[in-house]
Structure 1
Amino acid sequence: MADTELAPNLPQWMKDHAERYLSSGGTDGHIYTLSRPGAPEITVPSLLLTTAGRKSGQRYLFPLFYGRTGGSYFVIASKGGAPEHPGWYRNILANPEVVIQVGTETMPAKARTATGEERARLWQQAVEFFPPYADYKVKAGEREIPVVVLDPVR
Structure 2
Amino acid sequence: MIGERVVQRVSSTRGFAKVAPHVIPALDRAVHRLTRGKVLLSAQMLPGVILTSTGARSGQPRRTPLACMPQEAGRSWLLVGSNFGRTDHPAWTHNLLAHPDAEVSWKGADIPVRARLLQGEERTAAWKELLAFWPPYATYQARVEREIRIFRITRRGQ
Q: TM-score range by the shorter chain?
A: 0.7 to 0.9
* Residue type at the aligned position of 2:116: R
* Residue type at the aligned position of 2:112: P
Change in Cα spacing, 1:30 to 1:120, as seen in structure 2 (3 Å) is farther
1:147 and 2:158 aligned: no
Of residues 120, 123, 141 in structure 1, which corresponds to 2:124? 120
List gaps (5 residues or longer) in structure 2. 1-20
List gaps (5 residues or longer) in structure 1. 1-9, 34-42
1:93 and 2:97 aligned: yes
Report matched runs for 1:57-76 at 5 Å: 57-70=59-72, 71-76=75-80
2:59 match: secondary structure: coil
Q: Cα distance, 1:103 vs. partner?
A: 1.0
1:64 match: secondary structure: strand
Q: Cα distance, 1:116 vs. partner?
A: 2.1
Of residues 36, 43, 46 in structure 2, which corresponds to 1:25? 36
Q: Cα distance, 1:72 vs. partner?
A: 0.9
1:56 match: secondary structure: coil
Name whichever structure is richer in strand by fraction: 1
TM-score (norm 2): 0.78
RMSD: 1.6
Q: Cα distance, 1:121 vs. partner?
A: 2.0
Q: Cα distance, 1:32 vs. partner?
A: 2.5
Change in Cα spacing, 1:106 to 1:145, as seen in structure 2 (3 Å) is same
2:27 match: secondary structure: helix
1:12 and 2:38 aligned: no
* Residue type at the aligned position of 1:138: A
Contact kept, 8 Å, 1:50 with 1:59, in 2: the verdict is yes
* Residue type at the aligned position of 1:25: R
Matched residues, number: 135
Q: Distance in 2 between matches of 1:62 and 1:14?
A: 7
* Residue type at the aligned position of 1:153: R
Q: Cα distance, 1:58 vs. partner?
A: 1.0
Q: Distance in 2 between matches of 1:23 and 1:127?
A: 32
Which residue is 1:40 aligned to? none
* Segments ≥4 residues shifted beyond 3 Å: none
In percent, how many aligned pairs have the same letter?
Answer: 27
Name whichever structure is richer in helix by fraction: 2
